[in-house]
Amino acid sequence: MSPRYNRRRVQGDPELGPGAFGGPEQVVEWAGEDWVVRRISGSASTKAYRCPGCDQEIRPATPHIVAWPVEAGRGLEDRRHWHSACWDARERRYRR
Ligand SMILES: [Zn+2]
Quick: pLDDT tens for 13-34: 444 444 455 557 899 998 888 9
**Centre of ligand 1 from the C-alpha of residue 74, in Å:** 23
Whole-number mean pLDDT of the chain? Answer: 78
| Residues forming a β-bridge with 35 | 28, 69
Residue 18 covered by a domain? no
Residue 77 covered by a domain? yes
Find the domain containing 58 and state its range.
25-93
Q: What are phi and psi of 26, to 5 degrees?
A: -130, 165
**Centre of ligand 1 from the C-alpha of residue 82, in Å:** 6
**Centre of ligand 1 from the C-alpha of residue 67, in Å:** 13
In this prediction the pTM is 0.69
Poorest-confidence range of 30-34, 70-74, 88-92?
70-74
Going by DSSP bridges, is the β-strand pair 25-30/64-69 parallel, antiparallel, or unpaired? unpaired
Q: Mapping DSSP to helix (H, G, I), strand (E, B) and coil, where does residue 84 land?
A: helix
In the predicted structure, residue 87 carries a pLDDT above the cut 70: yes
In the predicted structure, residue 73 carries a pLDDT above the cut 80: no
Total domain count for the chain? 1
Residue 17 covered by a domain? no
**Centre of ligand 1 from the C-alpha of residue 16, in Å:** 25
| Residues forming a β-bridge with 68 | 36
